[in-house]
Amino acid sequence: MKQENLRVLITGGAGFLGSHLCDRFLAEGHTVVAMDNFITGNPDNIAHLIGHERFSFIRHNVSNYIYVEGPLDAVLHFASPASPNDYLEHPIPTLKVGSLGTLNTLGLAKAKGARYLLASTSEVYGDPDVNPQPETYWGNVNPIGPRGVYDEAKRFAEAMTMAYHRYHGVETRIVRIFNTYGPRMRLNDGRVVPNFIAQALRGEPLTVYMGGKQTRSFQYMSDLIEGIYRLLYSDEVLPVNIGNPREMTILEFAEAVVEMTNSGSEIHFVTPTDERIKDDPKQRRPDITKARAVLGWEPKVNLAEGLAQTIDYFRGRV
């Protein structure tokens, strides 16, 4: 792949991560074609890019055949519902975008001679019985549970990506993304970060599920974007975890949000009555030894800094 003036396709380009990737690639002088069907993406995330001379947008569902005119140097496949609420609400589109969408974007990359980068997820590790999770861990996933539609689609996507690499020689990269937060997350996507911040800003109780003893490790968006950018240019074909290894319980996270927002909100322990928390991983922390070694990457933004940015963003929107 050439180094400069790339022309890249970003699927899910109007999503939380996709739109930040658009910004990064444009800032580096590249040309960006973004694609989204707005199932969970939001036109507001790319409104500031409309009219940019190196940016174009195609409204399209990538689970259907994709046509892009002209050359492409890289294809980054970021389209997918990505919060547990979203994939419970859109189970079939989630399965389709991870399977058919991955097939179509890989086919496009092959046809264009483009490098390919797949957005995979820590969900491939399921409810892990090793902590932290290294890339060599095969995972503990329930294929038929409510999260199965996302987890198995992403596992299939990884298998398909490796097959295109091994059989067709496509230059592929796979990033396994751990919990990421920041501006442009949807206020109502149901994930813990927007839920808690919105609740705290409104003075409502924070809804902590499962007693709050389960753990997560939250990384700020800009750290992830840097890791993805480095991975695309690297030689690493096998999956690389990108996440922040600072692990905390959900109860600790709730307390941090209350403190950072100066909120008077109480913390309530609740049990959702729907399937939402079935198979909810009890622990999650990335082993980032590999990212450190092959990308020279590690997270730079701590929770207080990242939360401050995110709270600012949500403050104007609740």
Give the residues lining the site for ligand UDP (CB under 6 A): 83-84, 179, 191-192, 195, 207-210, 214, 216, 250, 277, 280
Instruction: Decide if 309 contacts 183 (C-beta within 8 A).
Output: yes
Whichever of 72 and 81 has its CB closer to ligand UDP, that residue is 81
- Catalytic option among 87, 116, 125, 150: 150
Q: Which residue has the tokens 């899910």?
A: 12
- Least Å distance, CB 75 to ligand UDP, is 25
Whichever of 26 and 277 has its CB closer to ligand UDP, that residue is 277
Whichever of 116 and 196 has its CB closer to ligand UDP, that residue is 196
CA count, 13 A, side-chain hemisphere, 69: 3
Q: What is the distance, to the nearest Å, from the Cα of residue 62 to the centroid of all Cα atoms in its chain?
A: 17
- Alpha-carbon dihedral sign for residues 45, 46, 49, 51: negative
Active site residue 150: yes
- Least Å distance, CB 141 to ligand UDP, is 13
Whichever of 195 and 222 has its CB closer to ligand UDP, that residue is 195
- Least Å distance, CB 171 to ligand UDP, is 29
Helix axes 192-202, 303-315, angle to 10 degrees: 60
- Least Å distance, CB 227 to ligand UDP, is 18
DSSP H/E element including 176: strand 172-177
Using alpha carbons, select from 191, 195, 184 the residue that is nearest to residue 21. 184
- Least Å distance, CB 33 to ligand UDP, is 29
Structure tokens belonging to residue 276:
């939402």
Using alpha carbons, select from 209, 222, 288, 287 the residue that is nearest to residue 253. 209
Peptide bond into 146 cis (omega under 30): no
> Which residues are catalytic, by number?
150
